[in-house]
Amino acid sequence: MTDVKSRIDDLVKANDVVLFMKGTKDMPQCGFSSRVAGVLNYIGLSYADVNVLADEEIRQGIKDYSDWPTIPQLYVKGEFVGGCDIITEMTLSGELDGMFEENGVAFDKAAADKIREANG
C-alpha cells in the first residue's frame, strides 16, 4: 500500500466517522462540503474532518482509495458511504439515521427529524 493510502486507511479506521472535504467542518470551502458538514454539525455528530485542500496527496488519494471521483466523501466505521447527493438523500429518507444507530454513532435524532420536516 502506498504511503498516502496508508495515511487515509489509518484516518478511516481510527475514527468512527470521517468526512474528507474541501475546507474544515467549521469553515467549509465549497458548497457540497458545506452541505454535508452542515447536516453532520446540525445533528450534533462527532466526526473527524480532513481538509483535502491542505494536502494534494490526500486530495487525489481519497479519490483513488474510494474509487469515487468527487469530494466530499463520508466514511462511517471504516466504510465509504458516499458524497453530497447520497448523504442528502440518506438524510432525507432516514437511512443515514439508521446507519448511525446500527453502528452505535451518537447523534441528535430530533435534529435529524427537523431536517426532514423542513424538507418534506
| Domain extent listing, the chain | 3-119
- Residue 1 has a pLDDT of 55
- Residue 49 has a pLDDT of 98
Whether domain 3-119 has CATH 3.40.640.10: no
CA distance 108 to 44: 6
Say how many C-beta atoms besides its own lie within 10 A of residue 116's C-beta. Answer: 13
| Residue linked to cell 481510527 | 14
Per-residue pLDDT of the chain (120 residues; tens, 9 = 90+): 579 999 999 999 999 999 999 999 999 999 999 999 999 999 999 999 999 999 999 999 999 999 999 999 999 999 999 999 999 999 999 999 999 999 999 999 999 999 999 998
- Residue 2 has a pLDDT of 78
DSSP bridge partners of 23: 28
Buried b (16+ CB within 10 A) or exposed e, 21-38: bbbbbeebeeebbbbbbe
- Residue 120 has a pLDDT of 80
Backbone angles phi, psi at 105, to 5 degrees: -95, 120
CA distance 6 to 93: 34
Inter-CA distances, 101 with 45, 66, 69, 79, 96, Å? 12, 23, 28, 15, 9
